[in-house]
Amino acid sequence: MSFGEFFNVGVEGEFAYFTLAHFLPILIAISIIVIVYKKQDFLRSFKFEPNLRLILAFTLIVAEMSYFWQKMYIGSDIKDHLPLTICGWTAIFTALLLLSHNKFLFDVVYFWALAGSLNALITPAVIVDSGPMHFRYYQFWVMHLGIFIGLFYMIFVYKMRPTFVSFVKSYVLLAIFGVFCIYVNRLIPGANYLFLASTEAGGSALNFLPSNIVQRALVMGVLMLLLYFTAYLPYFIRDRRLKNKDLNVLNVEQQEVLVS
């Protein structure tokens, strides 16, 4: 295969769901996340830890930008590839989060990744024409899996976590972004940003949504709300247990005081 063919588009069906080409990158990312979890104390005090975050942030930015470079190389129409994707912005926000430790960025990345970008890993419809013999395959996996590696790095090493306020702020920002994308989809013929206009070629978990734009947007809004709650649920349960535990301890102490 020539250099030009590697950066060109492949043929539809070159990448198949639930194959080695699908699972191997995910398994590699999970392995890295497990290592980060096990070595979190070491990483927290590691002399060159800032360099690790810088490398990951730089990788995410380059991975996101290289998507547009590749589209320019093959002569794609720029209006079909505007920077209006959840995953693209989540990658940028993750890179900035790694560099700044900003809580608002964490709030956005946490919910956008677990409620939005996760779908792209399960059904990566946008790379059905790009298998391991094409650049787009590697760009997709490096960017998307880099988001999750960066997110869990900040959770494990820096002990960052979402709150209910995080839930609300992130969802409001997502809703604003969604409304803007609906406007762009109506403005540009054939545009389908955030899959709010129609289904995506190649099969996606979103293909069951209604074709009517208003109904589609409403169903997606409710679906995202449910996914947001699912992403927040572990922390909600943990906080409730800690609160109940504290109340039990307080009750015991009060009873001991009364007895004495």
Q: At residue 121, what is the residue type? A: L
Q: At residue 170, what is the residue type? A: S
pLDDT for 24? 98
DSSP 24-78: HHHHHHHHHHHHHHHTHHHHHH-TTHHHHHHHHHHHHHHHHHHHHHHHHHTT--G
The Cα–Cα gap between 42 and 35 comes to: 11
Nearest to 220 by CA among 173, 175, 184, 170: 175
10-residue stretch averages of pLDDT, the chain, 260 residues long: 81 90 98 98 96 98 96 87 94 98 97 92 90 95 98 98 95 96 92 82 67 88 95 94 67 52
The predicted model scores a pTM of 0.91
Domain ranges of the chain: 3-259
Count of C-beta atoms within a 10 Å radius of residue 116? 21
Give 6-31 pLDDT, tens digit per residue. Answer: 998 888 889 999 999 999 999 999 99
Three-state DSSP class for residue 203: coil
